[in-house]
Amino acid sequence: MPRYRLTIEYDGTGFLGWQAQPQANTVQGVLEAAIIKLHGAHFNVQCAGRTDTGVHALAQVAHVDLPRVWDVFELVNAINGNVRPHLVSVIAAEEVSEDFHARFSATGRDYLFRILNRRAPPTIDKNKVWHIPVQLDQDAMHEAAQYLLGMHDFTTFRAAECQSKSPIKTLDRLDVSRYGDEIEIVAEARSFLHHQVRSMAGSLRMVGEGKWKPIDVKRALDAKNRAACGPVAPPSGLYLVAVRY
């Protein structure tokens, strides 16, 4: 059967994450339901990184094996036509070799975490940002973020339910920048632990508010203890923006 790589955008607000679950609204579930309408049978859609409840994607990557050859333009239109009214769009498709795997072939994943840093709450971006009304020091946050770069034991920033075999990860980039009222945290690595980006963002917020000094993030990392982590940031500000191959 031909294998297709799909690039997918979705608003995670109304979904219980990516992974299909019985009687639950998930991104994988609605995509597979759309494909059932095309072929009358179930075909597994496997993604590069399973996002949690409320997490968004600008360019999630998935693959699916289908029983016939499709023109990729027609495949994109057919899936999108059947996935409505859910806020999911396949933005590109291409036929790939059978040894391509959305998850295991990936060499890197890039995430963006958005913070709206102003007194007034969001309206247009409701459920798309983390609203923090207290003024944050983005320079101190960026300084703190640099302590997390490289290969470390990220136990402190790992959810208790994380299924990764090891807490050792290599963080290639963690930048904090301000654009007017918005602060963006950009994180890049080959792979991440469960809740790692949200955990790091929550600890960086402590620095931004002046409750921690930048060096306290390093102390938290070195503790290798979940209790040393700052409050975990909500999923609303988190986006999977790219998967590298």
Catalytic residue chosen out of the listed positions 11, 52, 137, 153: 52
What is the secondary structure of the chain as a DSSP string?
--EEEEEEEE-GGGSS-SS--TT---HHHHHHHHHHHHHSS----EESS---TT-EEEEEEEEEE-SS---HHHHHHHHHHHHTTSSEEEEEEEEE-TT--TTTT--EEEEEEEEE-SSSPPSTTTTTSEE--S---HHHHHHHHGGG-EEEE-GGGS-TT---S-SEEEEEEEEEEEETTEEEEEEEES---TTHHHHHHHHHHHHHTTSS-HHHHHHHHHHT-GGGSPPPPPGGGEEEEEEE-
**Is 137 one of the annotated active-site residues of the chain?**
no
Catalytic residues: 52
